[in-house]
A and B are shown apart, each in its own frame.
Chain A
Amino acid sequence: MELGLDVTEKNGYAVLAVRGEVDVYTAPRLRERLVELVSQGKHQIVVDLEGVDFLDSTGLGVLVGGLKRLRSHDGDLALVCTQHRILKVFEITGLTKVFSIHESVDAAVGE
């Protein structure tokens, strides 16, 4: 199963576009990519979930871990998500209050 993880830079943010299904099998790759970005000094990260078809609690856990890591560097991890079925997972778990969730990458990077 492929998990697309493409990084671009926009307005000083590292934008990580995730494509595919994030589950117990693929989530470790997302975690590694986030850890790598932080170790490269990228402390303002936007994770774009618009290309994600499926996200479960392991994926949520990785995003929570990423946010924690970035906060410890005075950074932030923001999300881009407009898909109802993905947003629903954040809503049920109450994590909409933990992450800033934007409708577009431009909105997330403040352009």
Chain B
Amino acid sequence: MANRAVATEQAIELQIPARAEFVALVRLVVSSLASARRILADDRVDDLKLAVSEACTNAIEAHGAASLDDRIVVRCWESDDRLEVSVEDRGEGFDPQSLPQHPPVTDPQRLNFERGLGIPLIRTLVDEVEFITADEGTSVTLTMYCGRLSDQ
């Protein structure tokens, strides 16, 4: 993890109030960063933007309405072969392995599930995702490899 430690020193950090109206700002910052440095192809920037948005949405929902002063920390750092974005909250954690399974889309019961699509989307959109859940909050780290490692 030595490389990550070096890269983290040069991370860009954004703190937002744990409120829904700030997710658009995070999307703007992360997608601008990824586009400006030309690290990722445009469609990969869109994937990252959506994944980051989902992670921030989960973080805000973890805080709930009672803690409007809480903050969510978004960190971005890049190295030669990757761009990483972490989203940290101070809300109650969850177990990403124990999410309820949706019925298949062909099942009429599927329409009873309006939520729970965020984590599957994140898993599909980014090359790697790591969830760290502790008593003091959850951290989600999203990794995009510049060389489309996942496709090789």
Contact = CB atoms under 8 A, between A and B. Distances in A.
Interface of A: 1, 21, 23-25, 54, 56-58, 60-62, 64-65, 67-68, 71, 84-85, 88-89, 92-95, 97-98
B24 A1 contact: yes
B111 A57 contact: no
A57 B121 contact: yes
Interface of B: 20-21, 23-24, 27, 43, 46, 49-50, 53-54, 57, 60-61, 104-106, 110-115, 117-118, 120-121, 124-125
Contacts, number: 71
Contact of A24 (B23, B106, B113): B23
A12 to B, nearest CB: 23
Closest 3 A/B residue pairs (Cβ): A61-B114, A57-B117, A25-B20
B24 A93 contact: no
Given A57-B57, A95-B105, A89 B114 contact: no
A92 B57 contact: no
Contacts of A58: 57
A39 B46 CA distance: 36
